[in-house]
Amino acid sequence: MAVHEVYAQIWEGKAQNIIVCDNYEMANYLSRMSYGEDSFAVECSQYACTLGDLYHDGAFWRKDPETGEESEVRYIPTSEEQVAALEAENAALQQQVTDTQLALCEVYELMG
């Protein structure tokens, strides 16, 4: 559980500021007071976003200054999400090992 969360203050589709706040309502209020009623806060603790990054389609984007091409800012999973993914991968690998062992047993029985 996080005590504070990190929010990007979005205005005109761009991260204008990044703040630490203990709840969304306050972060959103501060965004509107700073940048106007059209601005809003987006929780960004799991994204390596920076000032000036774009926000649209529910994601953060970084524009290449040379080409103008946008690339999505990578999501950084939490420790809990990483553990869950590794546990799922481990279970799948264990099942593959079991299936392989059973197949080998069947081959040995046919050879015997």
Average pLDDT over residues 85-103: 92
**pLDDT digit string (tens) for 20-55?**
999 999 999 999 999 999 999 999 999 999 999 999
Residue 1 pLDDT level (bands cut at 50, 70, 90) = low
pLDDT above 80 for 12? yes
In the predicted structure, residue 82 carries a pLDDT above the cut 70: yes
Domain limits, the chain: 5-72, 78-112
pLDDT attached to residue 85: 86
Average pLDDT for 70-77: 94
pLDDT recorded at residue 54: 98
**Burial (Cβ within 10 Å: 0-12, 13-18, ≥19) of residue 2:** exposed
Identify residue 79 by its one-letter amino acid code.
S
Q: Determine if residue 68 is left, alpha or beta; phi over 0 gives left, psi from -120 to 50 gives alpha, anything else beta.
A: left
